[in-house]
Chains A and B, each alone.
Chain A
């Protein structure tokens, strides 16, 4: 079976609101980062991929299986929802066992996989703890363990690092990278840092559409020569904000250093700088006609 997800011309409506507009995307083995604002349609797309939502137009196939075949899709997909919760009275081990049961795994396989995954996500000592007593990071790790339990070909993780402390976040990203060596991992986030650290392949979503698809380096290339820093007196800040897209600023006494995006060099006082992914993302939104004036 081919290890590939094909999404073509997919539409999804919530009542009259069109949540996905003609989305076409092919995803190969490895990690894909879905980047977009809140409400861009990332979660909707992921839920469609996990066969939790039906689509109104177009088609999706995961590893050759059409999405309509929900039962089979679910046996090859691991899904970690945005806010992972579990029946609060169950212990870590019980939760995994129960979810494995729902995935149709037999007893010995469940035992084996649970032991292995508990070790892998470093929850061995918490195995008898109740879900409600877990910290945010532990809960996330339990989440990824349950998503990997039935050894899925595709892993879908929705905003996995939201609410984690920096250390937990790094550990979590590394775990995902490891996992992605053997399968397709789709990761959605609005935190650019997550993508920078984990993905080479990204797709930018906005308003239910795929705005851009490619590699991180390509996105950076596109933005090359369009990011500048300006040193100015504080009083000009409002004026600068009005004229340019501001992606960062540093205030020092009466002066302010502003990082801006602009198609052409705005003046002699501006210095060109190499773009970072955040600039590139904002520029991508901007160049596709999105309103980014709310920037920084």
Chain B
């Protein structure tokens, strides 16, 4: 049977071995490492339960304005426009615009801003005794005009973010996380833990963590296997032989596609079983859902494998394997680093879904509709891409597809 033959071809290839090594390596260094002892139940009377983000204008407004004034005076703005840190310095024109915004926000006049020259940042500094001490820093006095409404404030911050170039601390995505955190109370922490324990039934939370880690790699590794399979056909001069067979293009391409996806799922399932065994080990007395991790892996990871494989096949068919690897790499890069957050940032077209926390059951539930749409979207788009691959394959077979989008100089033709 063709399907099994293709599977065999893949399983006995070097790239598949590397795939397995990376996958298992990732599992053991990341997931298994995070999964060594049970999540502790919060105890009443602890000094610190962490903080949570909460939109409280009274906290956010002074903090954000202080931050903005501080950065303005230091001359450097930190931003994450593409997920990487970028240190932004403004041109004189933009500084003037920003100074106007600061005046509106804080009542500090332009003159004060210009003349102020003993700025010190707030934060922890090394004291003389070697310990860390918190200093308030030194900035001009801030008097928020009483007429400034919260909406005006947000609007001005949006403008400031735009001047800085996006991705700054004051953007809509980041402002709450940066300037409006409140300490968790014991009740908050307990509630969150109880969701983990009762609603997620433990395994649900671990399933998300598992998929979070493996998702990073199964959204890029499959492209190599797809490229390997198609390139081998080309470089070994098999193409003409394959073209001349009776099999329809659609059947051949889809069989190859599903055998790729199938073989790549096997190691994922094996690690899912390992993950469950791991969870069972640290929660020996709890009743656990045996299939939670496997189920989550199915809807979370398979669309990634499918999309990456399909993209690899399609681009290889149109141009070359090298371009396919590059395209997939760029896509992955953009997706991973588009958001600096590791939880709660799944949107409609997020390719690599992240949820790097055992908590946050409610965040995940709130995003559920988005997630369903997202995964279905990638599944459907993958199948369409494979179909397109089959169409192009058929056109090449008939000799009507001679346009190469990128000239591939590395391919050796035997024709």
Q: Which residues of A contact B (CB under 8 A)?
A: 83, 85, 87-89, 132
Cα-based distance from A152 to B414 in the complex (angstroms): 26
Q: Are B414 and A85 in contact (CB under 8 A)?
A: yes
B409 at interface (Cβ–Cβ under 8 A)?
A: yes
A85 partner residues in chain B, CB cutoff 8 A: 412-414
Chain B interface main SS type: loop
Q: How far is the CB of A110 from chain B (nearest CB, A)?
A: 23
Which chain B residues (390-415) contact chain A, with CB distance < 8 Å? Answer: 409, 411-415
Q: Which residue of A lies closest to B414 (CB)?
A: A85
Cα-based distance from A85 to B414 in the complex (angstroms): 7
A87 partner residues in chain B, CB cutoff 8 A: 412
A88 partner residues in chain B, CB cutoff 8 A: 409, 411-413
Q: How far is the CB of B264 from chain A (nearest CB, A)?
A: 31
Q: How far is the CB of B337 from chain A (nearest CB, A)?
A: 36
> Can you offer 12 A-B residue contacts whose CB atoms are under 8 A?
A83-B414, A85-B412, A85-B413, A85-B414, A87-B412, A88-B409, A88-B411, A88-B412, A88-B413, A89-B409, A132-B413, A132-B415
Cα-based distance from A169 to B413 in the complex (angstroms): 22
Q: How far is the CB of B176 from chain A (nearest CB, A)?
A: 55
Please classify how large the interface on chain B is, using the bins under 10, 10 to 19, 20 to 34, 35 or more: under 10
Q: How far is the CB of A253 from chain B (nearest CB, A)?
A: 35
Cα-based distance from A132 to B234 in the complex (angstroms): 14
B411 partner residues in chain A, CB cutoff 8 A: 88
Q: Which residues of B contact A (CB under 8 A)?
A: 409, 411-415
Other 9 A-B pairs with CB < 8 A, given A83-B414, A85-B412, A85-B414: A85-B413, A87-B412, A88-B409, A88-B411, A88-B412, A88-B413, A89-B409, A132-B413, A132-B415
Q: Which residue of A lies closest to B409 (CB)?
A: A89
Q: How far is the CB of A55 from chain B (nearest CB, A)?
A: 28
B413 partner residues in chain A, CB cutoff 8 A: 85, 88, 132
Cα-based distance from A132 to B415 in the complex (angstroms): 7
A83 partner residues in chain B, CB cutoff 8 A: 414
Q: How far is the CB of A258 from chain B (nearest CB, A)?
A: 34
Q: How far is the CB of B202 from chain A (nearest CB, A)?
A: 52
Cα-based distance from A73 to B44 in the complex (angstroms): 85
Cα-based distance from A87 to B410 in the complex (angstroms): 8
Q: Which residue of B lies closest to A134 (CB)?
A: B415
B414 partner residues in chain A, CB cutoff 8 A: 83, 85
Cα-based distance from A88 to B411 in the complex (angstroms): 7
Q: How far is the CB of B215 from chain A (nearest CB, A)?
A: 39
A89 partner residues in chain B, CB cutoff 8 A: 409
Q: A-B pairs with the 10 shortest C-beta distances? A: A132-B413, A88-B413, A89-B409, A88-B412, A85-B412, A85-B414, A132-B415, A88-B411, A83-B414, A87-B412
Q: How far is the CB of B386 from chain A (nearest CB, A)?
A: 28
Q: How far is the CB of A3 from chain B (nearest CB, A)?
A: 35
Cα-based distance from A89 to B320 in the complex (angstroms): 15
Q: How far is the CB of A138 from chain B (nearest CB, A)?
A: 12
Q: Which residue of A lies closest to B237 (CB)?
A: A83
B412 partner residues in chain A, CB cutoff 8 A: 85, 87-88
Cα-based distance from A183 to B17 in the complex (angstroms): 50
